[in-house]
Amino acid sequence: MTNAIVIHYSEIALKGKNRPWFERTLLDNIREKLNGFAYTSVRKISGRFILELCGNTDIAEVTSRLKTVFGISSFSLARHIKPDITAMTAAVKDILQHHDQNNTVRILTKRSSKSFPMTSMDVNKQVGHAVVNDCKRTIDLVDADTSIWIEIVDNRCFIYDNQIKGLGGLPVGVSGKVISLLSGGIDSPVAAWYAMKRGCTVRFIHFYNDTINTKESLTKVKDLAKILSSYNHNTKLYLIPFKDIQYELMKAVPKNYRMILYKRFMLKIAENIANKEHAKALIVGDSLAQVSSQIITAMDVVRQGTRTLILSPLIGFDKQEIVDKAKDIGTYETSILPYGDCCSYMIAKHPVLSPQHHVVTTIEKHLPVDSLVLTAVKHADIIRY
C-alpha cells in the first residue's frame, strides 16, 4: 500500500555550497503546491524528499500537482516499511503479485544509511533469491520488465516499482523575478514556461487594443496566465491598454516602421513594470528569423530602446518544436483561439526588414515617450492568480 512518495532531484544536487538554499526553495515550493491537501509531513532525508501520506490523502491529485513542480527530476509512489530484510522481502513479493507472472525482475537497492548491516549488493542478492525461489520469477539485471527499487535511508526503508518523470530544471524563485510579454499566441507562453524551468518567478504583461481585442480575446490571455500559474509562483498579469499609444504612433510613424515602434514601446512599458516589480529581465517569445520582426537587424533595433536584459528562451527553436511544447504544457489549445494582435494593427503589408536605428530614434524624439509609457502603466489592470 502506498503510504509515502519519494521525491528525487538532480541538477540542484550539483550546486555546491549553495545547494542547501536550492533544496529549501524546492521544499517550500512543494509545500506550497500541496497546500490544502491532507498529508503527514514532507522533509529532506539524505538527498531526497520524503512525502509521508495519511489515510485520506488524494494520491492522484497530489501526483498531478508534483508533475508541475520545477526542480523535481522524478518521484515514486512508495511503501514505507521497517528497515528489515524480512519486511523488504515480503513487500517485494507482495508488489510482484500485481505484475505479470512472466515479467523478468530486477532489484535495485540504494543504502544511504550505513548503520544498516547489509550492503546494497547483499540486499539485492537475498531479495532476488526470494524472487526466484518463492515467486518463480526470472532475474534480469540489464533489461527487466519490472524494476523494484529499495531505498534504505536514516533507519527507514522505502520500496517502489515506479518512477514518474518530473519537470527537472531549477525551483521557481532561485533565479529571481522576470517580466514575460504574453501576446496570446503560441510562442510567448512557451517562452515563459522555459524561464520558469530555469528558476525564474514570472510576472506577465499583455498589451491590448480594444478596437480589435474582444472580451473573448482578453479572456483567452487570462486563461493562458492561469494555465501557466500552475507552474509558477505568485502569478500576476498586467493588462496594458495600448490603443492610445498606437494612435499617437500612427500620426508620426510610416506604416512600414510601425511594428518596430510598437514593439519598442511594449518593451519600454515592460521595463517600467520590471522596475516596479524589482524584476531583473524581460522574457520574449522571439524565435530567430521566424517572422520579419525577428530577424537580427529588427530585433537589434527593437531591443536598443531599453536597458533591461532581454532573454529569448526560444531563439533557436523551430515552429514545430514550439508547437509540440505548447501541447505538452497545456497552452496550445488556448493559444490557437482567435485574437487581435496589437503588433499587426494598421501596419504596412510588408514591414521594413532592415530598420535603421537612427530613423527610429529620430521618430521617438518627436514623441512624448515618457508620458505615453507612464499613462499606459497607470491604467493597467492587474490580475492575481
pLDDT surpassing 90 at residue 290: no
Considering only 134-143, 154-163, 335-344, which range has the smallest mean pLDDT?
335-344
pLDDT value at residue 216:
82
Mean pLDDT, all residues of the chain: 94
Domains of the chain: residue spans and CATH: 4-165 (3.30.2130.30), 177-384 (3.40.50.620)
Q: Give 349's pLDDT tier (boundaries 50, 70, 90).
A: confident
Q: Give 45's pLDDT tier (boundaries 50, 70, 90).
A: very high
Question: Three-state SS string across the chain, please?
Answer: CCCEEEEECCHHHHCHHHHHHHHHHHHHHHHHHCCCCCCCEEEECCCCEEEECCCCCCHHHHHHHHCCCCCCCEEEEEEEECCCHHHHHHHHHHHHCCCCCCCCEEEEEEECCCCCCCCHHHHHHHHHHHHHHCCCCCECCCCCCEEEEEEEECCEEEEECCCEECCCCECCCCCCEEEEECCCCCHHHHHHHHHHHECCEEEEEEEECCCCCCHHHHHHHHHHHHHHHCCCCCCEEEEEECHHHHHHHHHHCCHHHHHHHHHHHHHHHHHHHHHHHCCCEEECCCCCCCCHHHCHHHHHHHHCCCCCEEECCCCCCCHHHHHHHHHHHCCHHHHCCCCCCHHHCCCCCCCCCCCCHHHHHHHHHCCCHHHHHHHHHHCCEEEEC
| 246/381 Cα distance (integer angstroms) | 18
Q: Give 65's pLDDT tier (boundaries 50, 70, 90).
A: very high
In this prediction, residues 78-95 reach a mean pLDDT of 97
| 206/171 Cα distance (integer angstroms) | 25
pLDDT surpassing 80 at residue 58: yes
In this prediction, residues 67-79 reach a mean pLDDT of 98
In this prediction, residues 21-33 reach a mean pLDDT of 96
Percent of the chain predicted with pLDDT > 90: 85
pLDDT value at residue 352:
83
Q: Give 73's pLDDT tier (boundaries 50, 70, 90).
A: very high
Considering only 251-260, 285-294, 319-328, which range has the smallest mean pLDDT?
285-294
Residue-wise pLDDT for 94-112, tens only, equals 999 999 999 999 999 999 8
| 221/240 Cα distance (integer angstroms) | 12
Q: Give 381's pLDDT tier (boundaries 50, 70, 90).
A: very high
Q: What is the pTM of this model?
A: 0.93
| 341/344 Cα distance (integer angstroms) | 6
In this prediction, residues 227-235 reach a mean pLDDT of 96
